[in-house]
Amino acid sequence: MKMPQPRFLLRNRRDTSTVKTSPLLLRPFPTSVTGSLSFMASEKRAITIQEILKKTGGRLVGQTNGDIHSTASLDEAKAGQVSFLANSRYSRFLETTNATVVFVKKEYPNSSTAQIVIADPYFAFTQLVIELHGHRPQPHATVSDKSSIAPDATLGKDCHIGDFVTLSNHVKIGDRCILYPNVFIGPNTVLGDDCILYPNVTIYDDCSLGNRVIVQANAVIGEDGFGFATHKGVHHKIPHIGKTVLEDDVEIGSCCGIERGAMENTVIGKGSKIGDLVAIGHGTKIGDGCLVVAQAGVAGSVKMGSYCQIGGQAGIKGHIEIGNGVGIAAKSGVHTGLKDGSIVFGTPAFDIKKAIPSYLAIKSLPEMRRTIKDLERRLSKMEKRKETADQ
């Protein structure tokens, strides 16, 4: 028996006559394409020390010759490579590195290694990595004949649509988006320009992605939230009528689950970066520029401010407010709201300056217990001797 095809799985991609295109589309998609990926090549180049100084605004200390052709860590760098030192704790590596030049925050006059002194060595190094190596090469703008695209889906110009991609009814894709194989986009979802969705990404219906959003492989955006009404011992599913919104420049890591809201939208603010295997609960709102490290979990209806940093495997209770610029250390459990600028650690999490000595004291508890027991025995003997003497 032949199974009926869902209405958004309409036809072989060779039939392009019914596909709506953006008004900005200057040329049609090719009507004969293959299912294979053809990647843009990244150009390799070298850069002189003077060019680096001009681009970064740094100050050269010491003498060095030769061009820079690549980047590396301090302990692995060789001649012709540049590295960085952001933490003075590792300054000893300046004496053993073979790097041609190293970005540093302050000058190390006793080192024989050439240095470029700059306020933010890591950022300068990052810019040079981009200059020399670029980002991952992406596929050319083609549409696979193995994709399934609804006739009322809208494609911007110069997009790449990979094998077995599904674009459902009323989907709108911006310019220069790249959708790798097996991506699914549900009805009424909108993508901005320059988005990249890696293989097996699933985006449910009625989601909104801004410009330059990156979603790594196997992530799920807009899934139903974990919401149930328990009545007479039965857990009844609550319909989730909210949406999921990823604002401009958001990146979602591999295997994340970003739930849609039960009533209010789930929102990830501009420039926020979510690591692998992170769960974001329904109706949660994360502010701009936040960093959420791998395996963290944020329960539903959390309101998080901007520029927060959440460590790996941290857990945040639902229905609380987290202020701006908050830091939560790895494996911490947050059960109450946090004010702006708070830095917390532990389970339950509290101020890190108090938490660290408190948790360090845990290692001494067995010895402290033995000491207390010994003191109790000695005190008991002293009391008995006193009682005998009083008699």
Residue 164, both tokens: 């077995």
Q: What are phi and psi of 148, to 5 degrees?
A: -125, 115
Residue 389 three-state SS: helix
DSSP sequence for 45-70? --B-HHHHHHHH--EEES---S-B-E
Confirm if 118 and 103 have CB atoms less than 8 A apart: yes
Which residue in the list 160, 170, 240, 282 is annotated as catalytic? Answer: 282
In the beta sheet, which residues pair with residue 246? 209, 268
Q: Can you read off the two tokens belonging to residue 84?
A: 């960085």
How many other CB atoms are found less than 10 A from the CB of residue 6?
12
The backbone torsions φ and ψ at residue 90, rounded to the nearest 5 degrees and listed phi first, read -105, 20
Say if residues 185 and 172 touch (Cβ distance below 8 Å). no
Whole-Å CA distances, 78 to 70, 73, 99:
9, 9, 5
Told to judge if 135 belongs to the known catalytic residues of this protein, a careful annotator would answer no
Burial of 362 per CB tally in 10 Å (0-12, 13-18, 19+) = exposed
Q: Which residue in this structure is represented by tokens 């549409």? A: 143
> Residues with catalytic annotation?
282
